[in-house]
Structure 1
Amino acid sequence: MVGDRFYIIDAGHGVGHQIRKARLGNWEDFAAGPLDALQGVFLTHLHSDHTVDLANILIAGIASNGLGKVAQPVQVWGPGPRGELPTLFGPAPAPPVTSPENPTPGTADMIQQFGQHLRHRHQRPGLRHPDADPYQPVHRVTTCRCRPA
């Protein structure tokens, strides 16, 4: 917490439940909060145990829970693409590469996929398109690939 705003450090399974348990944000109106007080999200790395609920926060939060009512978009900070796959661990052969053109996507790629999913869902009949822009400002955090000397 910083003043009346809060930040999420990693968005693993259950982060939404923890926000509610801590009673962060607006609790007078379910549609108005608690994400109305979310200032930013920081991802330390892109393993699923640190990112699996980010889509829930950003996508569900736009339609309800207050994220669609914030004055400025919530900013997301996280690593960019690594550019190369890690060295194979264990016996060969290596599993096939899912996306050879982008084998190690970064945070911005992940957020872009959320936006595509949101647009696709809201093109179906009977679903209301949210007023908020599904793309959140994403900042690439450069990491050091330090190796022992």
Structure 2
Amino acid sequence: MNLHPYVVTLGTAGGPRFWGAGAQQGHRCGISTAVVVGDAVYLVDCGRASASQFAAAGLNPKQLRGIFITHLHSDHTVDLPGFLLFGWMMAGREDNPVKVIGPGDRGMLPAINPNASGPVSPQFPDAPTAGTVKMVEHLFRAYSTDITDRMLDSLRPSPYTVFQPEDIQVPVETGFHPNDNPTPDDVEPFVIYRDDLVTVTATLVAHPPIAPAFAFRFETAAGSVTISGDTAPCDNLVRLATDTDLLLHEAIDMDWAAAAYSDVSAATREATLEHHRKSHTTPEQAGQIATAAGAHRLALHHLVPGNANPEVWAQAGRHYDGPLQIPQDLDHLSFARTPSPAAHRI
């Protein structure tokens, strides 16, 4: 078996938007990355159109071993129903179900943004912060007519025989608390999945108010890839990505963000900009993180806006001397092992 590992950038845009006119109009789907090792495929996040992109990339659902969710924002999960319901048609998975691994229930409400002018309540007080296991249940319930029809009329097995959801258990010793300590310092990467081809480790990253939010590292015999998820600059991510062969990191254009919210109330605009500042990373900061980690290659994805001029993202090269890529959707990026570059810390 050829184990040369690579990723396929199924979708490279971030944010819960349909990106309109611009240099990249129509060329960037929602964030999703396929990690390919030999004949096995592992999926990280399920952004808009990722199920269709999975097929367009020539990948077969029968190759899929795991779906890994960095956090539960809609732009990372909106196509999960497509994988669950269409992938349910895979035969012969009863003894080898696809793991669906992601954050557990937050356990408590986040604080209300101080820009609020009145009371704010959750839309669904009975389950306001559902984790991965409960989200999959909610999705299956939402499609109960479809599932019942196919089980009773077509004699399909339960979709739970094909997909096995799991909530990531954050180690107690990290000191994690969703409100008081969502991104503890000095988190040691911890294993969340292992098979004969990969070991997947995770760490907590800074994406408030979402908690927990994770980054993942896939380690193989032939190389490693680290996928940041959504995060502000974070020492935990540097630790996870140390000496990684490929770092896939999110990036946002803050100049775009400052001008993008003229059609909402002043309170919503300020709250949204505050979120971007404390929860995301500029291209220059991504370059600094790659240098600090000694990453052998850096690629930017989860690009916000999804239709920016490529020159915006090239700014990462101001602080990173290694190979820098700004991939398009469906690009193949190798993460085969390369010699370690000289690294310096920020």
TM-score range, shorter chain: 0.7 to 0.9
Q: More relative contact order in 1 or in 2 (CA 8 Å, sep 6+)?
A: 1
Contact 2:112 2:120 in 1 (8 A): no
Choose from 21, 31, 39 the match for 2:56: 21
Deviates more, 1:110-119 or 1:79-88: 110-119
Segments of 5+ residues of structure 2 without an aligned counterpart are 1-35, 171-175, 177-181, 186-346
Give deviations 1:109-139, integer Å, cap 9, x for gaps: 11112222343334459x8446232222222
Choose from 81, 90, 99 the match for 2:105: 81
Secondary structure at the residue paired with 1:137?
Answer: strand
Q: 1:53 — aligned with what? A: 79
Contact 2:46 2:77 in 1 (8 A): yes
| AA matched with 1:99 | F
User: Number of residue pairs matched?
Assistant: 135
Contact 2:48 2:75 in 1 (8 A): yes
The separation in 1 between residues aligned to 2:111 and 2:37, in whole angstroms, is: 40
Aligned CA distance change for structure 1 residues 92 and 128 (closer, same or farther; 3 Å): farther
The separation in 1 between residues aligned to 2:155 and 2:109, in whole angstroms, is: 37
| AA matched with 1:95 | V
Q: Which has the larger radius of gyration?
A: 2
User: Where is the strand percentage greater, Structure 1 or Structure 2?
Assistant: 2
Give deviations 1:27-84, integer Å, cap 9, x for gaps: xxxxxxx211111000000000000000111112213xxx344352111100001011
Residue 93 of structure 1, CA deviation: 2.1
Aligned CA distance change for structure 1 residues 109 and 51 (closer, same or farther; 3 Å): same
Q: 2:125 — aligned with what? A: 100
Cα RMSD over matched residues?
2.4
Secondary structure at the residue paired with 1:113?
Answer: helix
The separation in 2 between residues aligned to 1:58 and 1:139, in whole angstroms, is: 14
| AA matched with 1:23 | G
Contact 1:36 1:69 in 2 (8 A): no
Residue 99 of structure 1, CA deviation: 2.3
Q: 2:226 — aligned with what? A: none
The separation in 2 between residues aligned to 1:47 and 1:84, in whole angstroms, is: 16
Aligned CA distance change for structure 1 residues 97 and 140 (closer, same or farther; 3 Å): same
Q: Is it true that 1:72 corresponds to 2:96 in the alignment?
A: yes
Q: 1:6 — aligned with what? A: 41
TM-score (normalizing by structure 2):
0.36
Choose from 83, 88, 91 the match for 1:62: 88
Contact 1:7 1:41 in 2 (8 A): yes
Aligned CA distance change for structure 1 residues 2 and 103 (closer, same or farther; 3 Å): same
